[in-house]
């Protein structure tokens, strides 16, 4: 097993060696220096002076960074051991360009010749030299203060305050807090995440004893809302170190920048009585079905922004290694392929639904998270000469993506009627039925189900294919991120209200509606016995979705809907021992193979309670309509002669 050593800051207690393991040959070792990606190495020394963030809101605390801002990037003034490393890697520079829409937007200097598949390592630090370590940045900083210990500038935020008079917690909340704290995973004495499930009766935990990136998000928000930022900070930095340097599935190594689906802390024997802890990531190469965790990087970006917003510690996102990680994820998502659409093309099972469920192509969930992550990045990216093109690419993609989803994914009575009357085989730029949808595709359940008031974003759209299933997470994130228009967002909640028994029923919330059954189940799931109709991903009910529902309701001023759902969950979850999911049409039974004491069920409940109690903090986690983006979109359309170009026009278009 290969081990990378990182020494920690002298002020940290206790001095701890952190070992990151990796399956591939990436030592921080003179023999392997060509594998070092100096982005992180150089980045850690560069600082980000002369840069600014284009879209930071007022009062966001920019400028608190501890990054060293030496003129000329200060190679001459760097610590001797660091210089040694840098001078080695500097001689291997090559340039790699990534392109977006034919415009080069990011020029990355990758050291090590063929080092496209290299992982940024961390420079070894010298603990006993305070001059060297004093103000330095860009390192995993280990703090033994427990979950809430204090590097994060908690309390200095836009939203987080101690001002709320504490309400007496309910029994359910007290139990949830105890369970959440028991789920915390420690690494070298510091909290770095929470296990997916802590079910004592589970004979076969598979990977549920790991820290999943997506599962940790509600835990993170719960801790942040409680004023405990350290675990989130540690999580963000450690997963950054795990970011794919050489993910391999058999003999193949796909793209740089991928975030793992999950990681595990392993204890490794060094020699007789000595043990070391290592972080072991899974990029899908061990996962059931070998699914690619496309959503991990998107969640990482969303969490990075939330951490800044809720703690006021913007220095973290300003760090050069963090900025580099951010750009790597964005580059991976924005790279050109063969696709014709602005939406992301992915394989089946690349998100929360991580098994075959017929969601390959352009599933809504990924598009909504992608859109949210782009909006986050727009706020966080340091703008300088090196990132201008990337920022432009983000803006263009945001506009195109929102237009695409608003226009083509939207379903309501009117739209179904339009599709019902579609002409097919239209060849021209002016085609109305652009994707050549055959009206026979409209499923019979939908005709009866669609309410007169309300609508939703469909699950997927491809040539001659519309997936009309309602997927909850994607619809909720369309609201939260303003991917939908204000009218559409209101209509989505109206639909959930109108279809309460189907989408909430006995337990909030259905992952998707309806289930696929019979022959369709056989073809779509591959006869998956875990995804039988109305179970698990196939129409099961997932209490973790509650926090995202709550957030969407707060944004749209529909608190009463969230309160009703939270009350339902509060009554059942502790009695049922916090299951992962529920089965049947209305979510009546604990899921067939559901884990108990599932952490994101617990955290989702707690986060919902806290958000309801602090709607002003919730407001830091969602976005309003952005007219600047609409303007870009309307201008782009005007070039094709379709729309008039102005902000006023943008506001008055169907887009709003
Ligand atoms: C299941 C879920 C996935 C989750 C994992 C750990 O595989 O489908 O979304 O991340 O369990 O809880």
Say if residue 352's pLDDT is above 80: yes
Return the exposure string of 409-441: e unless at least 16 CB atoms fall within 10 Å of the residue's CB, then b. Answer: bbbbeeebeebeebeeeeeeeeeebeeebeeee
Decide if pLDDT at 142 tops 50: no
For the stretch 467-493, pLDDT in tens is 999 999 999 999 999 999 999 999 999
Query: Among candidates 367, 373, 358, which has minimal Cα distance to 306?
Result: 373
For the cut 90, the answer to whether the pLDDT of residue 620 exceeds it is: yes
Task: Give the atom of ligand 1 at the shortest distance from the alpha carbon of 353.
Answer: 8
pLDDT exceeds cutoff 60 at 292: yes
Res 161: pLDDT: 46
Cα separation, 522 vs 513, in Å, equals 17
DSSP codes, 333-401: HH---S--SSSPPB-TT-SSS-S-SS--BS-HHHHHHHHHHHHHHHHHPEESTTTHHHHHHHHHHHHHH
Burial group, residue 467, by CB count within 10 angstroms (0-12, 13-18, 19+): buried
Asked if residue 405 has its Cβ within 6 Å of ligand 1, the reply is no
Percent of the chain with pLDDT over 90: 63
Cβ of 215 below 6 Å from ligand 1:
yes
Distance 550 CA to ligand 1 centre (A): 21
Q: How far apart are the CA of 299 and the centre of ligand 1, in A? A: 14
Count of helix runs (H) and strand runs (E) in the chain: 23, 19
The reply to whether ligand 1 has any atom less than 6 angstroms from the CB of 356 is no
> Which of 183, 197, 214, 348, when mutated, tests ligand 1's pocket best, judged by the most ligand atoms within 8 Å of its CB?
214
- Kindly indicate the confidence band of residue 93, based on its pLDDT and cuts at 50, 70 and 90: very low
- Residue 632's pLDDT is what? 80
How many whole angstroms separate alpha carbon 250 and alpha carbon 177? 41
Distance 242 CA to ligand 1 centre (A): 19
> Which residue's CA lies nearest to atom 9 of ligand 1?
352
Candidates 244, 585, 516, 502; CA nearest to 356 is 516
pLDDT of res. 132: 30
Report if pTM > 0.85.
no
Q: Find the 354 Cα to ligand 1 centroid distance in Å.
A: 7
Q: Whose CA is nearest to atom 7 of ligand 1?
A: 354
SS3 (DSSP) at 262: strand
Each residue of 556-613: pLDDT tens digit? 999 999 999 999 999 999 999 999 999 999 999 999 999 999 999 999 999 999 999 9
Q: Which residues of 89-122 are buried (b: 16+ CB within 10 A; e: fewer)?
A: beebeeeeebebeeeebbebebbbeebebbbbbb
Our answer on whether the CB atom of 196 is closer than 6 Å to any ligand 1 atom is: yes
Over 70: is that where the pLDDT of 67 sits? no
Q: Is residue 598 classed as helix, strand or coil in its secondary structure?
A: strand
pLDDT for residue 393: 96
CA nearest ligand 1 atom 12, residue: 196
What is the reported pLDDT for 202? 86
Containing 629, the helix (H) or strand (E) segment is helix 627-639
Hey, which bits of 189-273 come out as E strands?
Answer: 190-194, 211-212, 262-271
In this structure, is the dihedral angle defined by the CA atoms of residues 30, 94, 255 and 296, taken in order, positive or negative? positive
162 CB-contact burial (10 Å; exposed 0-12 / middle 13-18 / buried 19+): exposed
Query: How confident is the model at residue 173, as a pLDDT?
Result: 98
pLDDT of residue 201: 87
Mean pLDDT of the chain: 78
Q: What is the pLDDT of residue 284?
A: 82
Give the range among 86-90, 451-455, 465-469, 512-516 with minimum mean pLDDT.
86-90
- Among 250-254, 299-303, 345-349, 387-391, the least confident range: 250-254
What pLDDT was estimated at residue 165?
Answer: 60
Residue among 183, 194, 195, 196 to mutate when testing ligand 1 (max atoms within 8 A of CB): 196
Among 51-60, 65-74, 206-215, 323-332, which is the least confidently predicted range?
65-74
Strands 18-22 and 274-282: parallel
With 80 as the cut, is the pLDDT of residue 177 above it? yes
DSSP summary character for residue 91? T
Please measure the distance between the N-terminal and C-terminal CA atoms of the chain and give it in whole angstroms: 54
**Cβ neighbours around 251 below 10 Å, total:** 5
- Tell me phi and psi for residue 231, to 5 degrees: -60, -35
Helix (H) or strand (E) segment spanning residue 87: helix 80-90
Q: Which of 184, 226, 403, 204 is nearest to 311 (CA)?
A: 226
Pocket lining: 371 vs ligand 1, CB cutoff 6 Å: no
What pLDDT band is residue 256 in, cutting at 50, 70 and 90? confident
Phi, psi of 430 (to 5 degrees): -90, 10
Of 132-136, 158-162, 175-179, 213-217, give the lowest mean pLDDT range: 132-136
Residue with tokens 């990531």: 281
Of 255 and 626, the structure prediction assigns the larger pLDDT to: 626
In this structure, the residue with its CA closest to atom 6 of ligand 1 is 196
Ranking 112-121, 254-263, 569-578, 590-599 by mean pLDDT, the lowest is 112-121
Q: What stretch of H or E contains 471? A: strand 465-471
In Å, the largest CA–CA distance within the chain is 76
DSSP class of residue 538 equals: B
pLDDT number for residue 84: 19
Token readout for 615 is: 């709607």
The answer on pLDDT for 136 being more than 60 is no
Could you report the per-residue pLDDT of 415-437, keeping only the tens digit for each? 999 999 999 999 988 899 999 99
Q: Which ligand 1 atom sits nearest the alpha carbon of residue 580?
A: 12
Q: Is the dihedral of CA 159, 165, 167, 169 positive or negative?
A: positive
> How much is the pLDDT for 646?
55
> Minimum mean pLDDT among 192-196, 283-287, 365-369: which range?
283-287
Query: Ligand 1 centroid to 599 CA: how many Å?
Result: 11
Distance 558 CA to ligand 1 centre (A): 29
Does ligand 1 have an atom closer than 6 angstroms to the CB of 354?
Answer: yes
The minimum-distance atom of ligand 1 relative to the CA of 600 is 12
- The confidence band for 637, taking pLDDT boundaries of 50, 70 and 90, is low
Question: What are the φ and ψ backbone dihedral angles of 363, each rounded to 5 degrees?
Answer: -65, 145
Q: What is the pLDDT of residue 111?
A: 27
Counting Cβ atoms within 10 Å, is residue 83 exposed (0-12), middle (13-18) or buried (19+)?
middle
Distance 22 CA to ligand 1 centre (A): 23
| Ligand 1 centre distance from Cα of residue 476 (Å) | 18
Interatomic CA distance for residues 133 and 653, integer angstroms: 55
Question: CB within 8 A of 414, min separation 6: which ones?
Answer: none
Instruction: Tell me the residue length of the chain.
Output: 656
Residue located nearest, by CA, to atom 2 of ligand 1: 352
Sign of the alpha-carbon torsion through 197, 200, 202, 205: positive
Band of pLDDT at residue 20, cut at 50, 70 and 90: very low
Is 282 near ligand 1, meaning CB less than 6 Å away?
A: no
At residue 123, the pLDDT reads 28
For residues 19 and 3, is the Cβ–Cβ distance under 8 A? yes
Contacts of 406 (CB under 8 A, 6+ apart): 483, 484, 485, 488, 654, 655
**The predicted structure's pLDDT at residue 85:** 24
Reported confidence tier of residue 262, pLDDT bands at 50, 70, 90: very high
Local confidence band at 254 (pLDDT 50, 70, 90 cut-offs): low
| Residue ranges in 438-558 assigned as alpha helix (H) | 444-449, 472-480, 486-498, 500-503, 518-525, 546-555
Nearest atom, ligand 1, residue 354 CA: 8
CA-closest candidate to residue 119, choices 46, 33, 1: 33
In this prediction, residue 253 carries a pLDDT of 72
pLDDT at 458: 98
Question: What is the distance in A from the centroid of ligand 1 to the CA of 600?
Answer: 10
Among 25-39, 51-65, 92-106, 380-394, the range with the most confident prediction by mean pLDDT is 380-394
Q: What's the pLDDT at 105?
A: 29
The 3 state secondary structure assigned to 555-570 is HCCCHHHHHHHHHHHH
């Amino acid at each position: 097993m290969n081990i990378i050593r990182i020494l920690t800051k002298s002020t940290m207690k206790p001095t701890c060696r952190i070992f990151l393991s990796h399956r591939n040959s990436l030592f921080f070792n003179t023999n392997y220096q060509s594998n070092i990606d100096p982005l992180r190495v150089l980045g850690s020394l560069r600082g980000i002076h002369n840069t600014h963030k284009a879209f930071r809101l007022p009062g966001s605390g920019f400028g608190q960074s501890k990054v060293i801002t030496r003129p000329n990037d200060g190679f001459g003034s760097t610590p001797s051991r660091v210089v040694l490393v840098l001078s080695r890697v500097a001689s291997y520079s090559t340039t790699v360009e990534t392109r977006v829409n034919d415009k080069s937007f990011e020029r990355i200097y990758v050291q090590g010749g063929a080092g496209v598949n290299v992982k940024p390592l961390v420079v070894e630090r010298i603990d006993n030299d305070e001059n060297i370590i004093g103000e330095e940045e860009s390192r995993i900083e280990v703090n033994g203060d427990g979950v809430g210990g204090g590097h994060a500038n908690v309390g200095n935020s836009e939203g987080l305050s101690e001002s709320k008079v504490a309400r007496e917690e309910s029994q359910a909340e007290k139990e949830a807090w105890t369970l959440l704290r028991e789920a915390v995973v420690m690494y070298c004495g510091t909290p770095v995440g929470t296990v997916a499930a802590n079910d004592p009766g589970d004979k076969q935990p598979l990977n549920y004893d790991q820290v999943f990136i997506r599962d940790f998000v509600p835990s993170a928000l719960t801790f942040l809302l409680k004023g405990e930022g350290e675990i989130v900070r540690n999580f963000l930095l450690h997963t950054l170190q795990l970011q794919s340097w050489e993910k391999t599935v058999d003999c193949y190594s796909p793209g740089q920048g991928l975030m793992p689906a999950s990681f595990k802390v392993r204890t490794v024997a060094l020699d007789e009585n000595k043990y070391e802890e290592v972080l072991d990531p899974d990029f899908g190469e061990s996962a059931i079905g070998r699914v690619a965790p496309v959503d991990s990087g998107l969640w990482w970006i969303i969490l990075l922004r939330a951490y800044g917003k809720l703690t006021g510690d913007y220095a973290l996102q300003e760090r050069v290694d963090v900025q580099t990680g951010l750009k790597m994820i964005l580059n991976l998502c924005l790279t050109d392929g063969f696709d014709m659409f602005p939406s992301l093309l992915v394989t089946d099972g690349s998100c929360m639904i991580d098994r075959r469920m017929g969601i390959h192509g352009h599933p809504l969930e990924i598009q909504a998270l992608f859109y949210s992550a782009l909006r986050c990045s727009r706020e966080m990216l340091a703008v300088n000469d090196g990132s201008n093109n990337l920022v432009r690419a983000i803006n263009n993609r945001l506009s195109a993506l929102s237009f695409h989803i608003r226009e083509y994914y939207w379903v309501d009575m009117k739209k179904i009627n339009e599709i019902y009357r579609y002409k097919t085989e239209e060849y021209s730029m002016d085609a109305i039925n652009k994707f050549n949808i055959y009206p026979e595709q409209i499923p019979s359940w939908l005709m009866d189900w669609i309410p007169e008031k309300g609508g939703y974003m469909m699950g997927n759209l491809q040539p001659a294919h519309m997936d009309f299933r309602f997927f909850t997470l994607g619809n909720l994130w369309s609201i939260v991120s303003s991917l939908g228009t204000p009218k559409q967002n209101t209509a989505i909640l109206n639909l959930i209200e109108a279809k309460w028994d189907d989408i909430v029923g006995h337990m909030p919330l259905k992952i998707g509606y309806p289930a696929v059954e019979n022959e369709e189940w056989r073809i779509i799931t591959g006869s998956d016995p875990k995804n039988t109709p109305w179970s698990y991903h196939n129409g099961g009910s997932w209490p973790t979705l509650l926090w995202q529902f709550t957030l969407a309701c707060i944004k749209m001023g529909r608190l009463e809907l969230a309160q009703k759902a939270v009350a339902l969950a509060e009554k059942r979850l502790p009695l049922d021992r916090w299951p992962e999911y529920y089965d049947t049409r209305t979510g009546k039974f604990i899921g067939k193979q559901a884990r108990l004491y599932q952490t994101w069920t617990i955290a989702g409940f707690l986060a919902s309670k806290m958000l309801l109690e602090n709607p002003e903090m919730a407001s830091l986690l969602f976005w309003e309509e952005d007219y600047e983006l609409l303007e870009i979109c309307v201008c782009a359309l005007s070039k094709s002669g379709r729309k008039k170009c102005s902000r006023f026009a943008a506001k008055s278009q169907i887009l709003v």
